[in-house]
Every structure is written in C-alpha cells, then in structure tokens.
Amino acid sequence: MAEKDRPATRRDRIELNPEILMGKSQPARLTVEVVSSVDGSLTDLSPALLMPDVLPELWRGPELTLGELTEYFSGKTVIKLEMPGFQEKATVPRYERVVLESAVHEAVRTGKLWLMSGAASLLGERVPISLWNEKATLRLPPPPIPASDLSPESLPEAWAEGAPSGAEILAALAKKMGKPIPWGLVRSALEEAFQAGLLERTPDSGAFPCDSAGAAALKVRKPGRVTAMTGARAVEVALTGEVLKRLADRFEALSEAAGENDFRLILRAELGLERKVPDETVEALGAILSEIAEALRLR
C-alpha cells in the first residue's frame, strides 16, 4: 500500500517491541509519543530508547556518535513508521542537549552502552561532561574479560615489577586488544579473579571496588606465602579438618577484632610429602579444591 504522509501530532505514537532490548520475549509493548517540532522540545528521554534496534533509523551501524544522536533528536528528523498494511511518516521530537546528556549518562552508568571519547573508554561509570563531543561514540558493551586474561602469562608487560596497579593492567589489556577498553570491564574481571583466589590485593593497595580514578592506587599480586614486614605478625600451623571448620565459623569475629588492620588467612595445600602420589589422586583432590577456589587446584 502507498506510504501515508502527514504531520505528526501529540497523539501520534510509535509502538516498539522491547524483546531486543530486554533479551527475552515480553508480552507488553513499549510505547513512546512522537511530537512535531512545532510543539516544542520534550524534557524526558528513557535511556532504553537509545539502544540499537529500538528507535527507527537511529543506529545505522555498530556505533552511534553523539553528533548523530543530537541530530536525530533535533526536531528535524523524519522517520518511516511501519503500520499494519502501510507506512507512515512522523517527525522525531526535539530534545535539548541536557536531556540527551542525562539519558546517555544513565545508559553508560548502568552498563547498557559503552562510550568512547578519544582515549577515554567508559562503561558502568559516570560520564564527565567534558567527554561530551560530537565525535564521541556509543557502542554495545564488549564481551567480558576472563579472569585468566589478567595473569602474568597473559600480560607480562603489566607484571614486570611483580605487583601491577589496576591502571597498568588496564593499559596492558588496551594495548593487547588494540583499542581503549572500559575500566568497568577490567573491574569485573578483577572481582572474578579475587573471588576465585587467582589474585589478591597487596597490603598497600588502594580500595576495591573502585572507579577508574582509583585504578592507579589498586595493586594486585598472585597469592603466595606471607612476606615478613615491619610490625607484621604471622603464625603458620598445620590444621585438621575440624579446626578448619571452627576457623571458618570464627572468621567474622577475627575480622572484627582486627579492625582496620589488614588481616588475612593464606591457605597452602600440600600432598605427597613422603611418597609419590598417583596422578588420579592429584586430579581428584584438585577437582574438589578448585570448587572452593580455582587457585587451590593442585598442579
């Protein structure tokens, strides 16, 4: 059927299927009002509408520049709407820059979109107003970084001094991948590495989790024996299973008693000190230990 062409009014509406946005089938439909530029600008824009495949003709490729976003919502963009049995034209409403900035900020802060502006790369963080320029781009978030990609074997340059900072790991990953990567992605990989026991913070490390501004103060190392330090106290003893259970029950009390002092328990698993152990025994024990923490797997 021939395309129907008429000015948009406040009663015109675009019905958008949110399945792409939500990643699953939804019975509801997302509805947005479209007004003509003569009606003035709107004051609220949902970050969900900035996602690819939601608003017609907003994204024309894998990235969207902020200049293109601003032009799209200038009040001069006319789009084609697919109606049952025919097409219809409507003018996209105008949004002031402050409204667009707010929507972009929320989409990036919540990890829905990845913003790149020069050497800056942001995901899951606040967007400084200084990074807003027409050439800055929005993309879908890159895939997660496996915790194993942070190891000395994977990033020898970052580990040259033995205890890299978060900023050094970020720089090494960016160099390896050939493009700026967001700190939020590295932060998630570090959190996974800490939880799995693959890495730990050094005693003089800054706080974690932290934003990109705190990445330089964050220092990590591979778990190992306690290094003697001025004023430090340490004890080493072989523990039975029953003692380990009691220790786990009292760990919270120990942490509270230590207060702000750096208190940690470092576990060393040993097997076959007096005779050679069959490989199948090593594999069986290693599989059980790795369920607790990957770093405990016997080698």
Domain assignment present for residue 224? The answer is no
pLDDT of residue 155: 94
Look at residues 66, 51, 55, 138 and name the one whose alpha carbon lies nearest to residue 97.
Answer: 66
d(CA 111, CA 113): 6
d(CA 110, CA 106): 6
Q: Which of 66, 82, 103 is the last residue of a domain?
A: 103
Q: What is the largest CA-CA distance in the chain?
A: 88
The mean pLDDT of 207-219, rounded to a whole number, is 92
The mean pLDDT of 56-83, rounded to a whole number, is 91
Beta bridge mates, 41? 94
Domain assignment present for residue 215? The answer is no
- Residue 51: φ, ψ to 5°: -70, 150
Q: Which of 51, 76, 103 is the last residue of a domain?
A: 103
pLDDT of residue 273: 54
20 versus 280: which is more confidently predicted? Answer: 280
Domain assignment present for residue 69? The answer is yes
Q: Are 81 and 103 in contact (CB under 8 A)?
A: no
Domain assignment present for residue 141? The answer is no
pLDDT of residue 115: 96
Side chain identity, residue 291: E
Whether 54 shows a pLDDT value over 60: the answer reads yes
Domain assignment present for residue 110? The answer is no
Q: Which of 103, 118, 138 is the last residue of a domain?
A: 103
pTM value?
0.60
The mean pLDDT of 112-120, rounded to a whole number, is 93
Domain assignment present for residue 8? The answer is no
93 versus 171: which is more confidently predicted? Answer: 171
239: confidence class by pLDDT, cuts 50, 70, 90: low
Domain encompassing residue 290 = 241-296
pLDDT of residue 23: 35
Whether 13 shows a pLDDT value over 50: the answer reads no
**pLDDT tens column, 135-180:** 999 999 999 999 999 999 999 999 988 899 999 999 999 999 988 9
289 versus 295: which is more confidently predicted? Answer: 289
Whether 187 shows a pLDDT value over 80: the answer reads yes
29: confidence class by pLDDT, cuts 50, 70, 90: very low
- Split into its structural domains, the chain has a count of 2
Domain assignment present for residue 162? The answer is no
Whether 236 shows a pLDDT value over 90: the answer reads no
Count of other CB atoms within 10 angstroms of residue 198: 20
Lowest mean pLDDT among 5-19, 126-140, 215-229: 5-19
d(CA 72, CA 59): 10
Domain assignment present for residue 172? The answer is no
Pairing of β 41-42 and β 94-95: parallel
Lowest mean pLDDT among 31-40, 73-82, 185-194, 217-226: 31-40
Whether 295 shows a pLDDT value over 70: the answer reads no
